[in-house]
């Protein structure tokens, strides 16, 4: 069971599920316990399933790279066919449940699968340094799905929330790709730091960070987020840009890992702030109930 759970990359799945839940609470409207329960179950199943399928298609790469060769499939703990069946069942279960929320949520889950497996994993990952941009679209779909689960219609809010995830992903991935640069070279995976070098990749990271802040500013102007979210995001962005400029001048593996760890909490912090500011009274009630219990 532990090996099958490992196929779903629990920490990654949880982060994407978290963005979905927070996006749901950030969207305007009365919240429904049934809807949030269905959202949690369907997103968890679908994201876990797509991740397991990703592991199936990446099994040859994983067997070459030092950091992944001990994963369940390349190490022989789980056969590739069983992993694919496991992932497919999880994904289809989540996809089916999503229709009980609304068709738009079901579409976002399908798009998450489409951009992750056929587009990113099978076609672009081994061919183009722009691979993670399209992979990022898949990563942004749970957030969009969370928003649409509440609103039931595609609007600017759904796009801006998903863009926040999409623009964060390059920072997250390119730092870790720099840390494992030799692994990616050995596996012939053209991540941007491998193709242009860590210093030039850092410029791409800075651009994505700036666009991320612009996204938050637009959300603030449209009153989708409050002043606290804007201030928190701005502080984190300034620190990220400063640290990335320092990294660009002297890129090292150790520094790349430090920046990866620094960048990782940004998404969770900003989404939490958005949800809290948009649902202050609801979160106060939840906190009081938790204290009483």
Q: Tell me the DSSP string of the chain.
A: -HHHHHHT-HHHHHHHHHHHHHHHHHSSS---HHHHHHHHHHHHHHHHHHHHHHHHHTHHHHHHSTTTTTSTTTTTSS-HHHHHHHHHHHHHHHHHHHTTT-HHHHHHHHHHHHIIIIIIIIIITTT-TTHHHHHHHHHHHHHHHHHHHHH-S--HHHHHHHHHHHHHHHHHHHHHHHHTHHHHHHTT---HHHHH-HHHHHHHHHHHHHHHHHHHHHHHHTTSS-HHHHHHHHHHHHHHHHHHHHHHHS--HHHHHHHHHHHTHHHHHHHHHHHHHHTHHHHHHHHHHHHH-
pLDDT at res. 26: 87
In the chain, the number of structural domains is 1
pLDDT at res. 283: 54
Q: What is the pTM of this model?
A: 0.90
pLDDT at res. 284: 58
pLDDT at res. 293: 52
Parent domain of 170: 2-292
pLDDT at res. 276: 83
Would you give per-residue pLDDT tens digits along the chain (293 residues)? 888 999 999 999 999 999 999 999 888 888 899 999 999 999 999 999 999 999 999 999 999 898 888 899 999 999 999 999 999 999 999 999 999 999 999 999 999 999 999 999 999 999 999 899 889 999 999 999 999 999 999 999 999 999 999 999 999 899 999 999 999 998 899 999 999 999 999 999 999 999 999 999 999 999 888 898 999 999 999 999 999 999 999 898 889 999 988 888 898 899 988 888 877 655 555 555 556 65
The CATH number given to whatever domain includes residue 171 is 1.10.357.140
pLDDT at res. 108: 97
pLDDT at res. 224: 87
């Amino acid at each position: 069971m532990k090996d099958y759970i490992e196929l779903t990359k629990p920490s990654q799945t949880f982060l994407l599920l978290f963005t979905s839940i927070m996006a749901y609470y950030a969207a305007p409207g009365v919240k429904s316990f049934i809807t949030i329960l269905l959202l949690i179950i369907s997103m968890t199943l679908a994201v876990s399933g797509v991740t397991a399928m990703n592991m199936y298609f990446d099994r040859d790469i994983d067997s070459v790279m030092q950091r992944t060769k001990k994963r369940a499939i390349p190490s022989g703990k789980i056969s590739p066919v069983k992993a694919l069946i496991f992932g497919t069942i999880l994904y289809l279960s989540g996809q089916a449940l999503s229709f009980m929320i609304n068709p738009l949520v079901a579409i976002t889950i399908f798009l998450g699968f489409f951009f992750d497996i056929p587009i990113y994993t099978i076609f672009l990952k081994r061919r183009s340094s722009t691979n993670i941009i399209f992979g990022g679209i898949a990563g942004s779909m749970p957030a969009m799905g969370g928003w649409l689960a509440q609103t039931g219609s595609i609007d600017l809010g759904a796009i801006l929330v998903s863009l926040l995830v999409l623009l964060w992903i390059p920072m997250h991935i390119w730092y870790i790709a720099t840390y494992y640069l030799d692994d990616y070279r050995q596996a012939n995976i053209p991540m941007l730091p491998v193709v242009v070098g860590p210093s030039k990749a850092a410029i791409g990271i800075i651009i994505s960070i700036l666009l991320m802040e612009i996204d938050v500013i637009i959300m603030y102007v449209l009153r989708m987020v409050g002043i606290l979210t804007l201030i928190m995001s701005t502080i984190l962005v300034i620190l990220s840009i400063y640290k990335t400029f320092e990294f660009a001048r002297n890129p090292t593996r150790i520094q790349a890992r430090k920046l990866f760890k620094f960048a990782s909490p940004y998404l969770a912090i900003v989404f939490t702030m958005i949800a809290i500011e948009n649902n202050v009274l609801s979160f106060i009630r939840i906190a009081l109930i938790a204290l009483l219990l």
